[in-house]
C-alpha cells in the first residue's frame, strides 16, 4: 500500500539538520582527525592506523579505561541495589508518596558542576563539614590520598544518580498488579521470597534500562572528577574521559584524541549491545507458546 504522506518528512528535516550539525559532522571530523597527525591547522600528515595502534599499546590510556571500568562496576554494584531498596520503602500513594518522590529527585535536577563545586567544598578537610568530620574519624584527605579521592567521586556519583534508579524501579513496582502480592501472601512467602520471585522478575525490563543508562553515564563520567579532583591525586581519578580531554584540549594532540574518541565510542556500543542481548534473552525465549 502506498501512502502519500511525504509532507511528514519535511517536519523531520530540521531535526535531521540539527543532529547532522551537532553529532554527525563532529563525528566525521573526529574520524578524519583520527587518521592524521595534526601539528597545526595547515600542517597535517596522513598516518593511517598509527594512532589506533599507539593507543592500544599506550599504558596511560589503557589504565584510564581500566579505571573507568572499575569505577562503573563499583558504581553499579552500589547504585542498583540501593536504588531498589529505597524504591521499596517509599510510600505507595497519597501526599507522602508525592513528597517522597520530590525529595528523591532533588539530586537529579542540580547541574553537574554545581554538584561538583558543592561536594568539593563539603569534602575539604579544612573548611568542609563532611571532610572535617571524616578527617576526625580517620585520616581523610582527598587531595593527597588516592583511595580517598576515588571514594569521594564514587560517593558523589552514588548521591547524584541513585535517585534515577529509584524512580525507575518505583514506577516499575507500581505497575505490578496487587494480585501477585496477595497470592504471595496466601502462599506464605517471606518478604525476601516476594522480592525474589514477584518483584525482581517483573522489574527486569526496568532494571535493564537503569543498568544501561547508569553504565554508560558512569563509564563516561567527566564533570565531577574534573571539578573535584582534577583527575588526581596523581592519576587516581583520571578516568577515560578526563585523559581524553587532557590529550585533546590540553596537549592539543587532536589526531590521537580523535582515535581515542572513536575507540571510546566503540567500547560503549559493544558494552551496551552485550547488556541488551543478555538481558532480553528471556524475552525472545518466551515468544513460542503451546497451543
Partner 1 sequence: MALEARNLTLIRNGEVFLEDISFTAKPGITVLVGPTLSGKTTLMRVIAGLIKPDSGSVTVNGVDVGQISVKDRSVSFVYQQFINYPSLTVFDNIASPLRVLKPKISKEEITERVHEVAKMLRITELLDRKPSALSGGQQQRVAIARSLSRSSDVVLLDEPLANLDFKLREQLRDELQRIFSDASMMVIYSTAESLEVLDMASHTIVMNEGRVQQDGPALDMYAKPKNIPVAQAMSDPPLNLIRSTTSIGGSESLSNALKDKHGGVFTVGVRPHNIALKSQGSADIPVSGKVRIAEYTGSSTYLHLDLGDSQELVLEVEGSQRFDIGSTMTVYLDRNALFGFDSSSGNTLFAPSGVR
Partner 2 sequence: MAEIRLENIGHSYDQGATFALNPISLTWKDGDAIALLGPSGCGKTTLLNIISGLLTPSVGRVYFDGVDVTDLDTAKRNVAQVFQFPVLYDTMTVRENLAFPLKNRGLSKDVTATRVEEVAELLGITKYLDTRPLKLRSDLQQLVSLGRGLVRRDVPAILFDEPLTVIDQNFKWTLRGRLKELHNLTRYSLVYVTHDQTEALTFADKVVVLNQGNVVQTGSAADLFLAPEDEFVGFFIGSPGMNFIDGSVNNGSVNIGSTVIGTTSGDKPVANGNVRIGIRPEFLAVSSTSSGVNVKISRVEHRGGYKLVHADGPNGNVIAKVDSNSSLDAGKTVQLTFHPERTYIYRDSKLCGSVNVKGA
- Per CB under 8 A, residues contacting partner 1 are 1-5, 287
How far apart are CB 191 and partner 2 at their closest, in Å?
A: 12
Residue closer to partner 1, measured from CB, 187 or 283: 283
Q: Which does 57 bind (CB under 5 to 8 A by kind): partner 1, partner 2, none?
A: none
Question: Which option in partner 1, partner 2, none does residue 56 bind, with CB closer than 5 to 8 A by kind?
Answer: none
Closest separation in Å from C-beta 4 to partner 1: 6
What is the CB neighbour count within 10 angstroms for residue 134?
A: 19
Question: By C-alpha distance, which of 34, 70, 68, 39 is closest to 54?
Answer: 34
CA distance 140 to 132: 8
Least Å from the CB of residue 77 to partner 2: 22
Count CB atoms within 10 A of the CB of residue 111: 9
* Residue 14 touches which member of partner 2, partner 1, none, C-beta under 5-8 Å by kind: none
Closest separation in Å from C-beta 287 to partner 1? 7
Q: C-alpha grid cell for residue 244?
A: 581524553
The cell for 118 is 558543592
CB of 94 to partner 1, least distance (A): 19
Report the distance separating Cα 246 and Cα 262, nearest Å. 16
| Touching partner 2, residues 162-191 (CB under 8 A) | 177, 179-180, 182-183, 185-190
Q: Contact letters (x/-) for partner 2, 196-215, by CB under 8 A? A: -xx--x--------------
Q: Which one of partner 1, partner 2, none interacts with residue 197, CB within 5 to 8 A by kind?
A: partner 2
Instruction: Look at residue 81 and give the partner it binds from partner 1, partner 2, none, a contact being a CB closer than 5 to 8 Å depending on partner kind.
Output: none
Q: Toward partner 2, which CB reaches closer, 52 or 180? A: 180
Query: Which residues, 6+ apart, have CB-to-CB distance to 58 below 8 Å?
Result: none
Sign of the torsion angle spanned by Cα atoms 71, 77, 78, 79: positive
Cα-based distances in Å from 80 to 66, 67, 169, 201, 203: 21, 20, 9, 15, 12
Complex with partner 2: residue 133 or 185, whichever CB lies closer? 185
- Residue 289 in contact with partner 2, rule: CB under 8 A: yes
Q: Which stretch binds partner 2 (CB under 8 A): 16-24, 74-82, 98-106, 192-200?
A: 192-200
Task: Give the residue from 191, 240, 237, 235 showing the smallest Cα distance to 216.
Answer: 240
Of all helices (H) and strands (E), which one includes residue 136? helix 129-137
Per residue in 82-95, is it b (16+ CB within 10 Å) or e — as a string? ebbebbeebeeeee
175 binds, among partner 1, partner 2, none (CB under 5 to 8 A by kind): none
- What are the C-alpha distances in Å from 52 to residues 59, 199, 271? 13, 45, 19
Query: Site residues (CB under 8 A) for partner 2?
Result: 177, 179-180, 182-183, 185-190, 193, 197-198, 201, 286, 288-291
Amino acid at each position: 500500500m502506498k501512502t502519500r504522506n511525504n509532507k511528514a518528512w519535511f517536519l523531520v528535516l530540521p531535526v535531521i539538520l540539527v543532529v547532522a550539525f551537532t553529532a554527525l559532522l563532529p563525528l566525521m571530523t573526529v574520524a578524519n582527525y583520527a587518521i592524521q597527525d595534526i601539528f597545526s591547522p595547515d600542517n597535517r600528515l596522513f598516518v593511517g592506523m598509527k594512532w589506533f595502534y599507539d593507543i592500544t599499546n599506550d599504558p596511560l590510556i589503557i589504565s584510564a579505561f581500566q579505571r573507568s571500568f572499575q569505577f562503573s562496576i563499583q558504581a553499579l554494584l552500589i547504585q542498583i541495589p540501593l536504588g531498589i531498596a529505597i524504591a521499596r520503602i517509599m510510600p505507595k500513594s497519597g501526599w507522602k508518596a508525592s513528597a517522597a518522590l520530590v525529595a528523591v529527585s532533588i539530586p537529579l535536577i542540580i547541574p553537574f558542576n554545581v554538584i561538583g563545586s558543592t561536594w568539593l567544598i563539603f569534602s575539604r578537610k579544612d573548611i568542609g563539614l563532611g571532610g572535617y568530620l571524616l578527617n576526625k574519624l580517620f585520616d581523610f584527605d582527598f587531595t593527597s590520598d588516592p583511595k580517598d579521592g576515588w571514594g569521594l567521586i564514587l560517593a558523589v556519583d552514588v548521591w547524584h544518580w541513585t535517585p534515577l534508579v529509584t524512580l525507575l524501579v518505583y514506577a516499575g513496582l507500581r505497575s505490578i498488579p496487587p494480585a501477585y502480592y496477595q497470592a504471595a501472601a496466601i502462599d506464605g512467602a517471606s518478604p525476601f521470597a516476594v522480592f525474589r520471585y514477584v518483584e525482581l522478575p517483573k522489574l527486569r525490563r526496568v532494571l535493564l534500562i537503569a543498568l544501561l543508562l547508569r553504565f554508560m553515564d558512569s563509564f563516561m563520567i567527566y564533570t565531577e572528577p574534573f571539578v573535584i579532583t582534577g583527575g588526581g591525586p596523581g592519576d587516581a581519578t583520571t578516568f577515560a574521559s578526563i585523559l581524553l580531554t587532557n590529550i585533546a584540549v590540553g596537549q592539543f594532540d587532536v589526531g590521537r584524541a580523535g582515535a581515542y574518541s572513536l575507540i571510546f565510542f566503540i567500547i560503549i556500543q559493544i558494552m551496551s549491545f552485550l547488556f541488551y542481548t543478555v538481558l532480553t534473552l528471556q524475552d525472545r525465549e518466551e515468544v513460542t507458546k503451546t497451543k
